[in-house]
């Protein structure tokens, strides 16, 4: 007699749980709650508590070591009149829009290339992830050296190619526009692999038969992309964009390491300014108010994108 037939010949015995907890978990409502508990605890500790604490701080005049008292919306009113804050709002929006759209364009291009068959495809796919794997602070320090006003390797190369002279070395991090361009370049460099790999995963779910059918009907490459690939890739793209916008909007480490928000606050973002005021200067309530000011903007962005995703999925 085979093992299989021996096993199947045994009578199936239902064991009733013995303890009170076991019996309680027999009820699906309690079981569901028990299974959700770890997530609820983690979210409560690391998301809800800091968020509520942030709101509490933002409506007081707490400074480091001094509890402070309720001041209502005074911190937000002060922010409204703060030039540096207004500059940080503009910088953050510009940084997010330019970096995210560039990452999408380059990521999509890369994903389409990686979706083709060529020798060393597996290696290239792994290699492309490198900027995403290296810790941000570490890679940003390398970029800081490349953009260094005195020792920039980029300037060194341009100098030796006789494209610039010593007198007009490019002041990557010392000139406002170039400093913003520099931080966007580093953000794009770091973020493109995420877009490329995620979009590649999306591309691989599209059946080749659809492309073949379109090709038989006479559709050329661009028409196939526009009418077959892009509509099917759109839901994935929107989700990736959602993640990227949130991450880029709240970016900190990259700008902190590369420019510290300078020169003269021209690359200051929400997070770096909140850090400078709250942690550096010890004005905790003002720092919290700056951090919290991100929330309504991000909420709006997230709602718009989620509504759009739902619409795309239901069409």
Partner 1 sequence: MGRLDRRRFLQLSGGVAAVIASGRAPAYAQQTTLHWVRWSDFVPASDTLLKGKITEECQKALGIKLQLETINANDIQARVTSAIQSGNGPDIIFALNNWPQLYSTSLADVSDVAEEIGHEQGGYYPISKQVATVGNKWIGVPWAIGGGLVAYRKSWFDEIGYHTFPDTWEKLQDAGKKLKAKGTPIGQALSHSFGDPPGFWYPWLWSWGGKEVDADGKTVALNSKATLESVERAVPFWNEACDPGGLAWDDSSNNRAFLAGTICCTNNGASIYIEAKRKPDTYQTEKGTPMYKDIRHAPLPKGPGGQYNLPGPFTDMVMQYSKNQKAAKTFLKWVHTKPVFEEWFTSQQGYTDGATRYWEKDKVWSADPVLTPFKNLPRQGRLTGYAGPPGRAAAEVQTKYIIIDMYAKAVQGMKAQDAVNWATGELKSIYSV
Q: Which of residues 263-292 bind partner 1 (CB under 8 A)?
A: 263-266, 275-284
Q: Binding of partner 1 at residue 91 (CB under 8 A)?
A: no
Instruction: Name the percent of the chain in helix, strand, coil, to the closest 5.
Output: 70, 0, 25
Among residues 148, 234, 142, which one has the least CA distance to residue 190? 142
CA angle in degrees (0–180, nearest 5) for 244-250-256: 115
Please, which residue, 66 or 204, has the CB nearer to partner 1?
66
CB 180 within 8 A of CB 93: no
Token representation of residue 207: 């059946």
For residue 58, the minimal CB distance to partner 1 (Å) is 15
Is the distance from CB of 284 to CB of 57 less than 8 angstroms? yes
DSSP-derived 3-state class of residue 66: strand
CB count, 10 Å around CB of 123?
A: 9
Helices 284-314 and 230-249: crossing angle, nearest 10°? 170
- Angle (CA) 88-93-94 rounded to 5° is 95
Task: Say if residue 308 is preceded by a cis peptide, omega within 30 of 0.
Answer: no
**Interface residue with partner 1, options 102, 115, 171, 247 (CB under 8 A):** 171
Region of 42-50, 145-153, 203-211, 232-240 interacting with partner 1 (CB under 8 A): 145-153
Q: How far is the CB of 248 from partner 1 (least distance, A)?
A: 22
Among 143, 261, 269, 309, binds partner 1 (CB under 8 A): 261
CB of 154 to partner 1, least distance (A): 13
Residue 66's beta-bridge partner residues?
63
In angstroms, what is the minimal distance from the CB of 283 to partner 1?
7
Residue selected from 24, 25, 260, 297 as contacting partner 1 according to rule CB under 8 A: 260
Which region, judged by CB under 8 A, interacts with partner 1, from 122-130, 174-182, 203-211, 247-255?
Answer: 174-182
* Least separation in angstroms between CB 208 and partner 1: 50
CA distances from 104 to 95, 132, 237, 307 (A): 14, 15, 8, 20
The least distance separating partner 1 from the CB of residue 265, rounded to whole angstroms, comes to 6
5-64: contacts with partner 1 (CB under 8 A):
64
| 193 near partner 1, rule: CB under 8 A | no
The number of residues that bind partner 1 (CB under 8 A) is 38
Among the listed residues 83, 138, 218, 222, the single contact to partner 1 using CB under 8 A = 83
Task: List interacting residues with partner 1 (CB under 8 A).
Answer: 64-66, 78, 81, 83, 148-151, 166-167, 169, 171-176, 179, 259-266, 275-284
């Amino acid at each position: 007699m085979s093992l299989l037939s021996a096993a199947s010949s045994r009578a199936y015995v239902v064991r009733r749980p013995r303890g009170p907890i076991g019996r309680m978990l027999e009820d699906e409502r309690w079981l569901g709650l028990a299974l959700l508990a770890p997530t609820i605890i983690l979210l409560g500790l690391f998301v809800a508590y800091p968020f509520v604490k942030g709101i509490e701080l933002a409506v007081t005049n707490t400074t480091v070591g001094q509890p402070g008292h309720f001041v209502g919306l005074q911190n937000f009113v002060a922010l409204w009149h703060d030039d540096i804050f207004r500059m940080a709002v503009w910088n953050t929006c510009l940084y997010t829009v330019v970096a995210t759209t560039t990452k999408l364009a380059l990521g999509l291009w890369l994903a389409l290339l990686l979706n083709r068959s060529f020798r060393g495809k597996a290696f290239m796919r792994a290699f492309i992830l490198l900027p995403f794997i290296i810790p941000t602070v570490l890679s940003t320090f390398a970029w800081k050296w490349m953009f260094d006003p005195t020792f920039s390797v980029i300037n060194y190369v341009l100098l030796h190619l006789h494209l610039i002279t010593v007198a007009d070395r490019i002041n990557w991090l010392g000139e406002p526009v170039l400093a913003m361009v520099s931080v966007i370049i580093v953000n794009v460099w770091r973020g493109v692999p995420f877009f490329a790999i995620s979009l590649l995963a999306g591309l691989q779910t599209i059946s080749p038969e659809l492309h073949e059918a379109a090709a038989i009907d006479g559709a050329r490459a661009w028409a196939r992309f526009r009418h077959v690939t892009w509509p099917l890739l759109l839901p994935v793209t929107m989700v990736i964009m959602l993640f990227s916008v949130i991450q880029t909007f709240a970016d900190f480490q990259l700008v902190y390491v590369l420019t510290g928000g300078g020169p003269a606050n021209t690359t200051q973002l929400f997070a770096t300014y909140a850090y400078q005021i709250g942690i550096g200067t010890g004005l905790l309530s003002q720092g919290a108010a700056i951090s919290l000011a991100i929330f309504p903007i991000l909420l709006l962005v997230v709602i718009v994108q989620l509504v759009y995703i739902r619409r795309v999925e239901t069409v």
